[in-house]
C-alpha cells in the first residue's frame, strides 16, 4: 500500500521540493498551503503522515497540530514539523500540541524519509 | 529618504540576511556572481535584504541530487528572509522585490551568476512576489544600497573591482546552517 503524506507549507517552492523528494521515495503526496487549508484537505483525504511548517498565515503549525489532535480520527496520525525554527520553547510547544518530531530546514531527503519510516513504524507497532 | 535622519549603514555579507523597520537604516552589499534579494512591504515600512551564492559552481556536471541540494539551500535562504519579514509584521501579499547581482564569472567557467539570478527569479515567481526592479546578470560587480522601509535602491557599478569581487566570492564556502536537516523524534 502506498503511504500518503500531507505536506502543509505556505511556500510553494518548499512544497514542490518536498513533493519531488517524497514522490521519488515512493510516497503519494497531497499538499496544503497553510493550517486552515490543511484542515480542509483532511475532510476529504486520509493521509498516513502529516508534515507541517510552523510559520504560516491564517492558521500556523501549532494551531494546525492542536486542531488535528482534537479530532478522534486523527489522534494517531504521525505529525512531523519541518521548519526553519530552532527555538527549544517552540519545539516543546509543538511536542505538547501533539507533534511526533521536529526537523530543521533545509531538509535532507534521506533523513526526512527515515523519519517518516520511523514514525509510521512506531504507530503501526502501537496498533499491534 | 529624510535627509534629517542620520543614516545607519549595515553591510550584508554572503550568507547573511537582515530585516529592518528603522527608517535610518540603509542595507548595503557588494555583489559579483552573488545575488541580493531586496524585499519590502512599503505599507508596513518593513524590508530586508539577503546575499547568497548557491553552492556548487559546477552544478551542470554534478549529479541531480547535488543540484537539488543546491536548490534546497537557496529556497531555505529565501524562506528565512520572507519569514523574517512576516515576523516583523510584513504581509506576503504586499511584498515586492528587487533583485541585484548574478554577474558572469571569469570566461570559460560555468556561469554561476546566471544560475543564481534564474533561481531567484523562479523562486519569487513561484511565491507570487512581484519583482519590480533591480539589475541582474551582466559582467560587472555592483555596490547596492537599499532603504528597507520604502524599498528604494541604488546601484553603483564596479568595473575595476570586478575580478577581486568574483575571486573573493569563490573563496567563501556556503555556510552550513546550524542544525540544518537535524531530526528529533519525540
pLDDT over threshold 90, residue B112 = no
Chain-chain contact of A111 with B181 (C-beta, under 8 angstroms): yes
DSSP B98-120: EEEE----STTS--HHHHHHHHH
Residues A39, A13 contacting (CB under 8 angstroms): no
Higher pLDDT, A6 or B68: A6
Note if the pTM is more than 0.95. no
pLDDT over threshold 90, residue B69 = no
Residue of B nearest to A85 (CA): B80
Chain A residues touching residue B124 (CB < 8 angstroms): none
Section B146-157 average pLDDT: 96
What the block records as the C-alpha cell of B179 is: 542544525
Predicted pLDDT at A40: 96
Predicted pLDDT at A100: 96
Chain-chain contact of A106 with B126 (C-beta, under 8 angstroms): no
Chain-chain contact of B185 with A16 (C-beta, under 8 angstroms): no
Section B2-15 average pLDDT: 82
Residues B83, A84 contacting (CB under 8 angstroms): yes
- B125-140: pLDDT as tens digits: 999 999 999 999 998 8
Predicted pLDDT at B59: 44
Backbone dihedral angles phi then psi of residue B113, each to the nearest 5 degrees? -60, -45
CA dist B166 and B158 (Å) reads 11
Predicted pLDDT at B73: 86
Q: How far is A107 from chain B (nearest CA, A)?
A: 4
Q: What is the pLDDT along chain A (128 residues), one digit of tens a residue?
A: 899 999 999 999 999 999 999 999 999 999 999 999 999 999 999 999 999 999 998 999 999 999 999 998 999 999 999 998 889 999 999 999 999 999 999 898 999 999 999 999 876 665 44
Question: For chains A and B, what is the number of CB pairs under 8 angstroms?
Answer: 80
Q: How far is B153 from chain A (nearest CA, A)?
A: 26
Name the residue facing B72 among A17, A95, A99 (closest C-beta).
A17
Predicted pLDDT at B175: 57
Residue B60 confidence class, pLDDT cut points 50, 70, 90: very low
- Kindly give, in sequence order, each residue whose CB lies less than 8 Å from that of residue B2, ignoring residues fewer than 6 positions away: B23
Residue of B nearest to A14 (CA): B75
Rounded to the nearest integer, the mean pLDDT of chain B is 85
Predicted pLDDT at B3: 56
CA dist A66 and B36 (Å) reads 38
Chain-chain contact of A119 with B181 (C-beta, under 8 angstroms): no
pLDDT over threshold 90, residue B180 = no
Residue B182 confidence class, pLDDT cut points 50, 70, 90: confident
Chain A residues touching residue B82 (CB < 8 angstroms): 11
The residue behind cell 507497532 is A125
Higher pLDDT, B72 or B164: B72
pLDDT over threshold 90, residue B179 = no
Predicted pLDDT at A124: 65
In percent, how much of chain B has pLDDT > 90? 59
Amino acid at each position: 500500500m502506498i503511504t500518503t503524506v500531507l505536506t502543509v507549507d505556505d511556500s510553494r517552492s518548499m512544497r514542490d521540493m518536498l513533493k519531488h523528494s517524497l514522490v521519488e521515495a515512493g510516497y503519494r503526496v497531497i499538499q496544503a498551503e497553510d493550517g486552515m487549508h490543511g484542515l480542509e484537505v483532511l475532510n476529504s483525504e486520509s493521509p498516513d503522515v502529516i508534515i507541517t511548517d510552523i510559520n504560516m498565515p491564517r492558521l500556523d503549525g501549532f494551531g494546525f497540530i492542536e486542531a488535528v489532535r482534537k479530532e478522534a480520527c486523527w489522534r494517531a496520525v504521525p505529525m512531523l514539523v519541518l521548519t526553519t525554527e530552532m527555538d527549544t520553547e517552540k519545539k516543546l510547544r509543538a511536542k505538547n500540541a501533539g507533534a511526533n518530531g521536529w526537523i530543521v530546514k533545509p531538509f535532507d531527503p534521506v533523513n526526512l524519509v527515515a523519519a517518516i519510516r520511523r514514525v509510521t513504524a512506531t504507530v503501526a507497532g502501537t496498533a499491534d | 529618504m529624510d535627509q534629517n535622519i542620520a543614516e545607519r549603514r549595515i553591510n550584508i555579507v554572503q550568507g547573511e540576511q537582515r530585516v529592518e523597520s528603522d527608517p535610518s537604516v540603509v542595507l548595503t552589499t557588494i555583489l559579483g556572481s552573488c545575488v541580493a534579494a531586496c524585499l519590502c512591504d512599503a505599507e508596513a515600512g518593513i524590508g530586508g535584504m539577503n546575499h547568497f551564492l548557491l553552492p556548487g559552481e559546477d552544478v551542470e556536471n554534478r549529479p541531480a541530487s547535488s543540484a537539488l541540494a543546491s536548490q534546497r539551500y537557496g529556497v531555505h535562504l529565501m524562506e528565512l528572509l520572507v519569514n523574517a519579514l512576516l515576523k516583523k509584521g510584513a504581509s506576503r501579499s504586499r511584498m515586492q522585490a528587487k533583485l541585484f547581482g548574478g554577474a558572469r564569472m571569469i570566461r570559460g567557467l560555468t556561469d554561476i551568476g546566471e544560475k543564481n539570478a534564474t533561481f531567484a527569479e523562479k523562486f519569487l515567481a513561484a511565491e507570487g512576489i512581484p519583482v519590480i526592479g533591480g539589475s541582474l546578470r551582466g559582467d560587472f560587480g555592483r555596490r547596492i544600497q537599499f532603504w528597507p522601509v520604502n524599498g528604494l535602491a541604488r546601484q553603483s557599478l564596479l568595473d575595476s573591482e570586478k575580478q577581486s569581487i568574483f575571486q573573493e566570492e569563490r573563496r567563501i564556502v556556503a555556510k552550513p546552517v546550524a542544525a540544518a536537516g537535524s531530526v528529533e523524534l519525540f
